[in-house]
Amino acid sequence: MKDTLIELVKYVVPALIVLATAYIVMKSFMDREITKARLDYKLNNAKLITPIRLQAYERLVLFLERIAPESLFIRILQPGMTTQQLHKALLTTIRSEFEHNMSQQVYVSDDAWDAVRNAKESVLRLINTAASSERGLKSSQDFTKIVIEAYNTVESSPTQNAIELIKNEISEQLF
């Protein structure tokens, strides 16, 4: 009986060692393969998502450029417009363009989206403040002048701040 037990141990112990070694080698191989598959997935995803994200950033920069007062007035101001008509057209245009670009928030960081939204709100607030504080304006050109002067006196333009943040995010992602 003792000899049988010794014989059994002679075969079982090496078999267990071989089994443990095979398990460790296979686990290590499988872990490497899973890591490689995840990396391939991320790289393929990046190839698809990066152009879409860049396009989203481009659209948001374009939006920010378009809502800057100088750009707005060039596009919106028509001869013979009253101050009230111009005010309404400005607000409508900004809100419409913002709504058109709302889906871009899916592809950009929360910080970038917050900067875009804050820039829009700042421009709207500036326009509304100028419209409410200057009821005695004689023409829409006077209104235009007041808004642009107020925008230019702001130490840091909200639209330019948002554009800079977006540029920084793009450079961080690409380089």
Is residue 137 over pLDDT 70? no
Q: Give the mean model confidence (pLDDT) for residues 106-132.
A: 94
- CA distances to 29, 94, 116, 164 from 121, rounded to whole Å, are 55, 10, 9, 17
What proportion of the chain, given as a percentage, has pLDDT over 70?
97
pLDDT score, position 5: 81
pLDDT single digits (tens) 25-57: 999 999 999 999 999 888 887 788 889 999 999
What is the b/e burial string over 58-67, where b = at least 16 CB atoms within 10 angstroms of the residue's CB? ebbbebbeeb
Decide: 63 and 98 in contact? Cβ < 8 Å: yes
Q: Give the mean model confidence (pLDDT) for residues 55-70.
A: 96
pTM of the predicted structure, to 2 decimals: 0.76
